[in-house]
Structure 1
């Protein structure tokens, strides 16, 4: 249950007083003062930048394209609460211009021969499979240190994130580079995190939010009288994700074998080349040469680059099955998800595997 919060203006004034003290309480032996300091400062700057969307819409001096984009976002925001039964609060009814392409940069890391992420634990969010930085330079610095330790590392820019209902999250300027529908999907995804969140289980949380995003978008299109998005982009996305997930499965099997370090490195490189080859075959034979994923596939590859796919997609089939089991009833679905989330981790994973069925989900 999300507790009521003060208005964003009052909250800013409260945070100026409470953030330093709260920061000291959050510190632990596994995280530095400087890291928590940049988290606190970055979040505070974001909160200070907020203004009501209604204020932007009412100001004729503001960019017309921005106003039109925000006007459409508010229709999706209303739909999210009224039709998808997502939280009805001030989140995404505020706007913040941050002047950069991403709000944070996440650093993912794994051992050289493992797909298990290096987890980081926080008092509120629990343990997550990445560390976030409000500047790209700080993320790169951390990544360099991890590489020196022999870790596989990847940096990913993030357009939006949820504070899980603790603050009224804004629509951020970093979210505005996409079309109206993509912005709607981001709102659905981030509000889903406010609706259900399980500490210490990134895969569960992100797969759940991804399912809500996709099903919510399908219903959002139907509500507006649009045809389902079953065209090439959606189909290609699903096929590409499956290629990556298949590679993850093969690598997990590889890393469980008793090979020497050099043999393991050679086989690992072969698996990544196999992924590239399968992608090019798919692209040229079924996608008419569409190169939308070429930049990703041709970049240097390592375990950490595969992590987001496992985190965001591996249990989507399980949540889709659960939604069908609950006959498309959103409140009943959320109640069932909460029951799953309350299970001990091994039982939760077993239940998700059962829902996903043979051939789906992580091994």
Structure 2
């Protein structure tokens, strides 16, 4: 009896593996990469007690623990076992994410995964695998983008470590990053990537400002630099989002009779206009803050494509929605707002 059941289960797994071999292969690669990181982490307490680690690193780790406590106690994010271990990257990237979009539409390629749902990006722990996927997408005629990722969330399924790349960030950016990822572990709605990323961005930025105000004061350099950085990127975000509207309007004028050469000429002319005009965005950050955060500038011969603009629609399009709802409906009471969101939207 049990042998028959075991044989039946094995047969199902074999059939599934053949039917979904790409998904199984990808899942194994991601699991192997994640396990390699978790296997090579050190408990934070062990790092703090180790005399071979510099004091500057230990101070940043203590700061991350403080940010995490603030996110849980003051913002009401869920308790988490994340950021209680440390993984040293030795200066090497460990995760790459690719996005892809239609060449004449702001429509993202979607990838579907069991349990967690649909995503408009795909992560890889193996660079050659990411490069081969990008090559395949380009052969399909899609616009593509590949970038290194400095942080990610396993949505509470695993305890995410502190990555050594975190420690190069200024305090405001670091607080935003930690709170952003802890937000994913608190509320993540299946098949709603744009909602999830916009919410985490909103909470990350709001939480970072509150943390900096509490720790350093609103007249401090960390607070003022972060506020100026936030203002600069908000202007940049709005500029790029206006650019997406220009591109969308252009693409809607194309039809089956529009030749590819004309489409390409008008597309790249519009993108070049968006890029060139971004140089007029005012920047009030201090010189130190500008040096610590790479400015988003493009070589005029190496222009962004639709995959870049798709990223802004995914992460930044709904920022005003969250801000207005938070301020007007909940009077700036963040814990009450978070409770409302958790009750309204079912999370994984």
The TM-score bracket by the shorter chain reads 0.7 to 0.9
Superposed displacement of residue 236, structure 1: 1.6
Find the aligned partners of 1:24 and 1:61 in 2 and give their Cα distance: 49
1:126 and 2:125 are equivalent in the alignment: no
Find the aligned partners of 1:217 and 1:116 in 2 and give their Cα distance: 32
Find the aligned partners of 1:293 and 1:123 in 2 and give their Cα distance: 37
1:337 and 2:309 are equivalent in the alignment: no
* Distance change in 2, residues 1:231/1:195 (3 Å): closer
Find the aligned partners of 2:333 and 2:94 in 1 and give their Cα distance: 34
CA contact (8 A) 2:76 2:338 kept: no
Question: Tell me, what secondary structure is at the counterpart of 1:167?
Answer: coil
1:243 and 2:245 are equivalent in the alignment: no
* Distance change in 2, residues 1:297/1:249 (3 Å): farther
Superposed displacement of residue 67, structure 1: 1.0
Find the aligned partners of 1:193 and 1:48 in 2 and give their Cα distance: 23
Find the aligned partners of 1:209 and 1:24 in 2 and give their Cα distance: 39
Report the counterpart of residue 10 of structure 2 in structure 1.
none
CA contact (8 A) 2:105 2:248 kept: yes
CA deviations 1:136-194 (Å, max 9, x no partner) are 23222211121111110000111111111101111112222212332221110000001
If asked which structure has higher relative contact order (CA below 8 Å, sep 6+), I would say: 2
1:110 pairs, out of 84, 101, 114, with: 101
Report the counterpart of residue 250 of structure 2 in structure 1.
254
1:312 pairs, out of 310, 315, 332, with: 315
* Distance change in 2, residues 1:301/1:225 (3 Å): closer
Superposed displacement of residue 340, structure 1: 4.8
Report the counterpart of residue 9 of structure 2 in structure 1.
none
* Distance change in 2, residues 1:339/1:283 (3 Å): same
Q: Which runs of 5+ in 1 are unaligned?
A: 1-22, 344-363
CA contact (8 A) 1:96 1:173 kept: yes
Superposed displacement of residue 310, structure 1: 1.3
CA contact (8 A) 2:209 2:227 kept: no
Report the counterpart of residue 79 of structure 1 in structure 2.
70
Find the aligned partners of 1:165 and 1:206 in 2 and give their Cα distance: 16
1:209 pairs, out of 197, 200, 216, with: 200
Superposed displacement of residue 196, structure 1: 0.7
Please list, as runs of the form range in 1=range in 2, the aligned pairs for 1:289-300 lying within 5 A after superposition: 293=295, 295-296=297-298, 298=300, 299-300=302-303
* Distance change in 2, residues 1:52/1:209 (3 Å): same
CA contact (8 A) 1:76 1:220 kept: yes
CA deviations 1:175-222 (Å, max 9, x no partner) are 222123322211100000011101111110000000000100111011
Question: Tell me, what secondary structure is at the counterpart of 1:320?
Answer: helix
* Distance change in 2, residues 1:175/1:231 (3 Å): closer
1:42 and 2:20 are equivalent in the alignment: no
CA contact (8 A) 2:229 2:285 kept: no
Query: Comparing 289-298 with 215-224, which one deviates more in the overlay?
Result: 289-298
Find the aligned partners of 1:177 and 1:191 in 2 and give their Cα distance: 19
CA deviations 1:248-272 (Å, max 9, x no partner) are 1111222222341333222211211
- Normalising by structure 1, report the TM-score: 0.80
How many pairs align? 320
Report the counterpart of residue 3 of structure 2 in structure 1.
none
CA contact (8 A) 1:77 1:93 kept: no
2:332 pairs, out of 316, 320, 328, with: 328
CA deviations 1:60-94 (Å, max 9, x no partner) are 22222211211111111111111011122211122
CA deviations 1:228-247 (Å, max 9, x no partner) are 54754222211111111111
* Distance change in 2, residues 1:71/1:157 (3 Å): same
